[in-house]
Structure 1
C-alpha cells in the first residue's frame, strides 16, 4: 500500500508540473491516497440530522469511514483536514446549466469554487460537442464536475414526422447524450411518438411542458425543467391556466404532480433576472454588480446593455398589464407554487438556468435563497441539490449522501446550512472525486476566471 501511494503521489507531482508549465496548475488540488477530515460536523443527508465531531476517511476517491473522532484511528492519512466547528455536506448539483462558450474550463472553475460537483448541461449549442466534454472529464483530461448533458434543444421544426422522431432518438443514443430535451410546442401525435420511442429505448425525454395540452400530458416526461412552466399549463381537463387559479387551491394539482413521480427543476433565479431587466434602477445596479467580473465580455455586451431583449419588453403590455407588473406577479406565484410542490412531496431539482447575469456557480446559491424565501426548509433545499439529483441520474448508489461507499464529492462549510441556507456560501474547501481544494486554491480559480474575462 505504501509503495502504491508513493507511485501515485509521484505521478500526481508529474502531472502538476506539466500543468504548471501550461499555466493551469492551480486548477488541481492535492490528491493523496488517504485523507482524513477530523472533528467535523457531518450533515449526511440520509435524514435531517447533524452528526457532531466526526472523522471522515477518504481513500482513492471513496468514503471508507464515518465515525466519531473519539474512535481509535485505523488509517494513516496522507492529508489531515481540520474540520473543527465546521460542517460537511455532499457536493451540490447544478441541474440546469448552459455552457455559453466553447471553452468549459473557466465555467468549471466557477462551479467547483461554489461547491458544485455535479452539473447537467441543458442544450448542446452551435460549435459545442457536449459528449466530448463529458468524455474528457471521465478520462481525466479535463478537471470538472460529474457531467451530464442533453443534445440540441429540439423544437417542433426539428420533429416533423414519426420517422424523424425515431431517427432523432436513435441519433441521441448513438452520440452518447444522457437526455433528449424538447420545447413546449410539439404537435400531440409527435409528442406521443417521442414518449413512446423514449420509453422503448430507455432514453429519458425532458424539457418544457406542452403548454397547449392539459397538464397530464406533460407529466409523462422524466422531468419538467422549470417551475415557470406551470404558469402556462392548463389544469386536469384543460381550460384556464394554473396561474389563474388561487394558490390555495393548487394542492390537488401538486398531488397530481407527485403521483406522476416526475421531477421538477426550479430555476427561479433566471426569472428574477428577467424582473431586474424590466426595472431601470435594478438594471443599473446589475451593471455594477460585483459578479460582473465573472461574465465574459461578449455576454456583458449582450445582457448588460440595451441590446438585452428583456429591456425591449419593459414598456410592453400583456393582456392589458404592463410587463414589469405581470412578471412581478408571476415571480410571487412561482415562489408560492414551489412551496406547494414541496409540501406535497414533489421532488425538486436545483437549477438556475445560467443565462445573462445568472452567473455560473454563484447563481445556485441565489436559487437556494429564493427557495428559502418561499418558505421551503433548508433541508428540503439541500435534498433538491444532493439526494434528488442522485436519484434522478440513477447515481444514488455512489452519490448524494455522506455514507460509506459513496464517492468523495464533498463541501466543507464554516456555518450550518440547516440554520440558514445562505450558509452554503461559507465554503472552506471542496472535494471533487477525492481531490481536495482548499479555500486558497478556490480563490485562485476565481481570480483566474476574473483575469480571463478582463
Structure 2
C-alpha cells in the first residue's frame, strides 16, 4: 500500500479511446486509435470503432498517447524503507521506471528475494549497481578487481565507478569486461575519456563529471589536464573498525548533496581554461569516437545546473520543495549556504561552464551519440523526484535538442540502453501497459510531456484528478527524499 497513492478502480480490461498514438521510434503520429489493455499488457492498437464489451473506458478525445517515462539515473532506493513519497511523485509525473545508481549487497539480496518495497503505483527497478567504487572498496587495483567480482557474484546489473583513479578505473573495467558485466559512471580526473571509450565503458554520467571530458575537447588539452585536480575524500580509516563504513558513507553523502561546494581555486581555473579553449572540431571527433564504441551518455543537466547554481532562487525557492521531507530540505539549505560562501571567481567559473555543457550536449546529439535522460534525484540538492525529469527535458531543449530526440531519451533509448530493445518504450501490442496521456503534441514542443491528463502504470489508470490528489497528499505530509 501507499500513504499517497490510492489503488485505481480502472484496471483489468481498459480501452483508451480515440487517441493519437505517438511512436518515438520513427516519430509517427497515428490519430483515431483505440488502445486496448488486458491486465498489464497492451492487447491491441486499432482504429477507433465500436465500444469494447466489459471494458473500462478512458476517453482520449484526440489527445496524444505516449509510452511512460524512464529516469536512467536515480538513487530512489538509497532509502529502501521509505520510498513511498518519491515513488508517488514519479507516478504523478509519468515516470514508471528507473536505474538505481547506488546499491549494496543488501539491496541486491532484497531484489533476488522479491522483498523490495512496492507501494501502489510504484515504478519498476530496471537496473541496479552494487556498492559504488570508491576508496572504501577500490583504493587499489586488487581492491577494484575484487569489488567487481563481488558485484558480479551478487547479481548487480552493472558496476558504477564513483571515486576512482585512472589505474583503478581501468583495472575494474578490464575485469568487468572479462566477466561480462557493464561498467560506467564517473570518469576520474586523470583518465582520458577516449581511453575509457576504447576500453568499453558503458556509460558516462554528468558529462564527466567535472572538467575531465572537456579537457579532451580543448585546444590546450595538456594544460587543462595538468590543472585538473583529483577530488579527494576526507580521511577514511585504513583499518576495519566497527561503524567505519557507515561513517565513511555519511561523509560521502555530505559531499554528494552538492559536490560543487568543495570546488577549489585550482578546479575553477581548470574550468575557465577548458571553456576558454573549447575546440568544436575536437568535440566532434570525441563524439564520433563515442558513436563508434557505443559509449552512452546520461547528461543529467538538471543535476549539473543545481550544482553549479547552488544558491540560485530558481532552486532554493522552488515551490515544489513542499513535497520534500523536512530533513532533506535542511540538508539542501545547508549546502546552498556553503555554496554561497565560495569565492565569487569560483562561482563565476561554475556558472560560465553551463554554456559549454549545453554545447557539448548538442554536439553529442547531432553526432548520434547514444544518450538517455536521467536526473540524479534522491540525495542531490534541489532535485525534486519526478518533476526533475521534466526539468531535464527543459534543459535538453535549451541545449538545442528537438522534441522527438527528448522523447526517445526517456522511452525507446532506455530500452536499447538496458539491452531490452523492443521490450518497452512504445505503444504497441505486447508492450507493458505503462502509458501517459497528454493534452498536446509532444513532437511539436517538449513541454507537452508535462501536460499530463492521466497515467497508466502496469495496467492501472490514474486520471489527472487522481494525480492531483496524490500531490495534495504529499504536500500535506511531505515525505519525498
Indicate the TM-score class for this superposition, using the shorter chain for normalisation. 0.7 to 0.9
1:33 equivalent to 2:12? Answer yes
User: Partner residue of 1:377?
Assistant: 402
Contact 2:139 2:164 in 1 (8 A): no
TM-score w.r.t. the length of structure 2 is: 0.80
**Post-superposition offset of 1:25:** 7.7
User: Partner residue of 2:206?
Assistant: 226
Decide which moves more: 259-268 or 302-311. 302-311
Query: For residues 254 and 181 of structure 1, what CA distance do their matches in structure 2 show?
Result: 22
Change (3 A) 1:141 1:358: closer
1:436 equivalent to 2:417? Answer no
**Post-superposition offset of 1:217:** 2.1
- State the Cα RMSD in Å: 2.7
1:159 equivalent to 2:138? Answer yes
**Post-superposition offset of 1:229:** 2.9
Question: What does residue range 1-16 of structure 1 map to in structure 2 within 5 Å?
Answer: none
Question: What does residue range 266-415 of structure 1 map to in structure 2 within 5 Å?
Answer: 266-278=299-311, 282-283=312-313, 286-305=315-334, 308-313=337-342, 315=343, 322-354=345-377, 355-415=380-440
Contact 1:156 1:187 in 2 (8 A): no
User: Partner residue of 2:58?
Assistant: 81
Query: For residues 109 and 6 of structure 2, what CA distance do their matches in structure 1 show?
Result: 22
Question: What does residue range 415-454 of structure 1 map to in structure 2 within 5 Å?
Answer: 415-453=440-478
Contact 2:309 2:350 in 1 (8 A): no
User: Partner residue of 1:169?
Assistant: 148
Give the 3-state SS of the residue equivalent to 1:81 in structure 2.
strand
Contact 1:38 1:81 in 2 (8 A): yes
1:272-309 CA-to-partner distances (Å, cap 9, x unmatched) read 2123324xxx33x5443211101211111111246644
**Post-superposition offset of 1:429:** 0.9
**Post-superposition offset of 1:134:** 8.2
Contact 1:210 1:217 in 2 (8 A): no
Structure 1 moving runs of 4+ over 6 Å: none
Give the 3-state SS of the residue equivalent to 1:348 in structure 2.
coil
Contact 1:247 1:333 in 2 (8 A): no
Contact 2:310 2:336 in 1 (8 A): no
**Post-superposition offset of 1:184:** 4.9
**Post-superposition offset of 1:228:** 4.6
User: Which of 106, 117, 123 in structure 1 is aligned with 2:96?
Assistant: 117
**Post-superposition offset of 1:370:** 0.8
Query: For residues 306 and 46 of structure 1, what CA distance do their matches in structure 2 show?
Result: 41
User: Partner residue of 1:129?
Assistant: 107
Uncovered stretches (5+) of structure 2, i.e. residues with no partner: 225-273
User: Partner residue of 1:11?
Assistant: none
Give the 3-state SS of the residue equivalent to 1:129 in structure 2.
helix
**Post-superposition offset of 1:264:** 0.3
Change (3 A) 1:439 1:133: farther
**Post-superposition offset of 1:248:** 5.6
**Post-superposition offset of 1:213:** 2.0
Query: For residues 216 and 322 of structure 2, what CA distance do their matches in structure 1 show?
Result: 43
Contact 1:227 1:334 in 2 (8 A): yes
TM-score w.r.t. the length of structure 1 is: 0.85
Uncovered stretches (5+) of structure 1, i.e. residues with no partner: 1-18, 317-321
Query: For residues 433 and 82 of structure 1, what CA distance do their matches in structure 2 show?
Result: 19
Query: For residues 365 and 27 of structure 1, what CA distance do their matches in structure 2 show?
Result: 24
1:264 equivalent to 2:244? Answer no
Give the 3-state SS of the residue equivalent to 1:256 in structure 2.
helix
Change (3 A) 1:374 1:349: same
User: Partner residue of 1:239?
Assistant: 222
